[in-house]
Chain A
């Protein structure tokens, strides 16, 4: 079962795009998301992300990623109105505080910006193998392999460490720790003591991977070493142009 940030196998046009193109497009979506202040444009950006999911054959996972981002945004949504008190009061709160229309609008925008900016990266990873990404970054953009490998390994380790955290939580639940509670805040508090076993496991695993890489000539890698080739095709040019157009629209939307 595919986990958060795992690659989904496929042969769609997005799977076949150059990894650098896909990264470039995700960056464009991120820039557009953070730049735009237009509520409708932000919604359209999320729509483009979902369309990307449909084309890449990962629509269901796109929706799941969207839901996860929405859940993560709850805190932002709750906190934001507390700091902006202009506009019409919607819900009066004690201690002279209140939730206002401006506060709510800002909260919605911040959440949508976050979602629009991040969803593109998650979707890129659903249709791009991280090894291809690091190889293409090195070959095409000349990024030193050391940095490309480190970045992509970090991405690759996210689901690995999530699995490890799951395993630790299962072990602790079996000891009577209340991880199967429905109270999210209580659960969060319970996770903190697990930092130690998780950290130790992560350090151990990272160290082993570093050794395994070094024992297979990690330090010898150069820009020309890669076996696979990542040529740029017409579809890549079109995708990048669409990305640039989206960024332009975001800027234009703020001006208009």
Chain B
């Protein structure tokens, strides 16, 4: 059992004004065999809490440590790091940094050799870890040649080989696509349920976490603000929302249905649970209303979400515009990195001025490669990429930068100046803008994004650095904005800040092309989705159409957003009235879905549900 009592921690720093406690009065008991998720906004102390559990604090990161952390009654301050490591295995956020060897087999051997297990024991544990994690075939592979998901499995296997009692993980799926993320969570569940390993993990993907964890702890400003079972914590949707923590949309829907009095407030964490709850509620209501036929309908069918939504074909599709209208044209493009290896294979499409396009697909599908073809970082081996009439093969990337802005996943590769103002001015100086104009635009951009001009970029949070990187691109006034996983590593609030700014730019005429794994964000912001699979386009259309096309989703290994999936499953029931089905199938937001469910629960429109007034 892990027990934290009044734990506080302040990092040792040379700055006397920085006396903030990163952990402040943490009381937490984690029973053996628990699966605990830690959630919270950036800078809330989540990572430091994991460091307190695995002994990095205070044994590696020095500072003022208060209270006590005990593992099976042993105080971590009195143990050394090696002793703690025998009980607590850790997987850090940056998976490439976690690797200490270049080959999978050596990576697994590393801990086993250090802890001086016998040769027989090492062989047995090695086989066990490879088998349980399902990576026997990777044993001799170079780690550099593995995908992100495979690397994460190797990191897990290397820890599992040591057979720890507790596994502490810090955002283990941050850079993985939904499919690979789910595989990692499946493995964690297997280790938890089969071998009784206690799992403690920090995760921003709360939808996934809610489906797997037994308990949740929500943190803010170094303190625990809410803890309990997943249902108990998710029920505090408003509190979590105030802290900038999103909850799964089906959970938010459950809260909404409970607040409207349609359900008794039962919590749903997954689409399956939501389907079950709503089906039960509709059935119960049907029984209650059997024999009751109220006149009229409280709900105006013309006001239903399906009616409000413009018909799917009202959203302009790419075929509508002529090729001459296209701002970007990909014509039979094939491209790759090594000789003879095509990552993109005969891809053709065009993008019109002002579109907001999302490129989706699994890791390795060719999305980022396609994005690099836009601004000439990669030139096609055959076919042509034409940007605003310019062939990228005939133009240098640094020249295309006047037209195309590129926001990378990692803002730290972009930021290189010592103040925010310098950073914003840096891009402008390279595009031949006059000094007076630079000063004017920097002042305007600093003001617009709410920065302080003199702040040091590297002292900002990850989300702020991402916004700064965006600001320094926007100030150049590109016609096209490319975004490569712009929300990775950001909490919900930071993510919203970045994406709302991108939406504003798009509304002002900037064409946006975004690579994104998060289908909720794609559904919220994109007007068009180009799905890719194995270097080819597997689907191209509006999010509305794609999310409702099961074949296209399967072909592209994509999952629809929770609300859409829920609507599809509920709407598939042919026993429901046509207009109810239409509303369920069309719903894309929580409010639309709650309206549709309300309609399904009381098709006759009595105005009350199970005796409760519908508000």
Q: Distance (Å) between the CB of A10 and the closest chain B CB?
A: 12
Bits for A147-175, please: 1 = Cβ < 8 Å to B, else 0: 00100010010011000100110111111
CB within 8 Å of B: which A200-248 residues: 200-201, 204-205, 208-209, 211-222, 224-228
Residue of A nearest to B476 (CB): A176
Distance, CA A131 to CA B110, complexed state (A): 9
Distance, CA A245 to CA B375, complexed state (A): 55
B102 and A131 form a contact (CB under 8 A)? yes
Residues from chain A with Cβ under 8 Å of B396 in the complex: 178, 180-181
B82 and A217 form a contact (CB under 8 A)? yes
Distance, CA A226 to CA B410, complexed state (A): 37
Any chain B CB within 8 A of the CB of A13? Answer: no
A-B contact count (CB 8 A): 158
Place the interface of chain B in its size category.
35 or more
Any chain A CB within 8 A of the CB of B338? Answer: yes
A-B contact pairs, 23 of them (CB 8 A): A1-B338, A129-B103, A153-B100, A167-B413, A173-B401, A174-B375, A180-B397, A197-B413, A200-B412, A200-B458, A204-B94, A205-B96, A208-B97, A209-B97, A211-B92, A216-B85, A219-B82, A220-B82, A220-B116, A221-B113, A225-B116, A227-B109, A227-B113
The 8 A-B pairs of least Cβ separation, nearest first, read A217-B114, A208-B97, A176-B401, A216-B111, A174-B406, A176-B430, A171-B413, A131-B106
Distance, CA A9 to CA B372, complexed state (A): 30
Any chain A CB within 8 A of the CB of B614? Answer: no
Bits for A127-142, please: 1 = Cβ < 8 Å to B, else 0: 0011100000000000
Any chain B CB within 8 A of the CB of A7? Answer: yes
Q: Which of B81, B159, B397 contacts A173 (CB 8 A)?
A: B397
Distance, CA A176 to CA B395, complexed state (A): 12
Residue of B nearest to A8 (CB): B142
A218 and B414 form a contact (CB under 8 A)? no
B binding-site residues for A, Cβ under 8 Å: 54-56, 60, 81-82, 85-86, 89-90, 92, 94, 96-103, 106, 109-116, 119, 122, 140, 142, 144, 158-159, 162, 337-338, 372, 375, 377, 396-399, 401-402, 404-406, 408, 410, 412-416, 418, 426-427, 430-431, 458, 472-473, 476
> Which of B89, B97, B142, B401 is packed against the most chain A CB atoms within 10 Å?
B97
A binding-site residues for B, Cβ under 8 Å: 1, 6-7, 9, 129-131, 149, 153, 156, 159-160, 164, 167-168, 170-181, 193-194, 196-197, 200-201, 204-205, 208-209, 211-222, 224-228
Residues from chain B with Cβ under 8 Å of A131 in the complex: 101-103, 106
Q: Which of A7, A156, A178, A197 contacts B398 (CB 8 A)?
A: A178
Residue of A nearest to B469 (CB): A171
Q: Distance (Å) between the CB of B500 and the closest chain A CB?
A: 23
Distance, CA A160 to CA B101, complexed state (A): 12
> Which of B54, B408, B458 is packed against the most chain A CB atoms within 10 Å?
B408
Distance, CA A212 to CA B399, complexed state (A): 42
Distance, CA A167 to CA B102, complexed state (A): 21
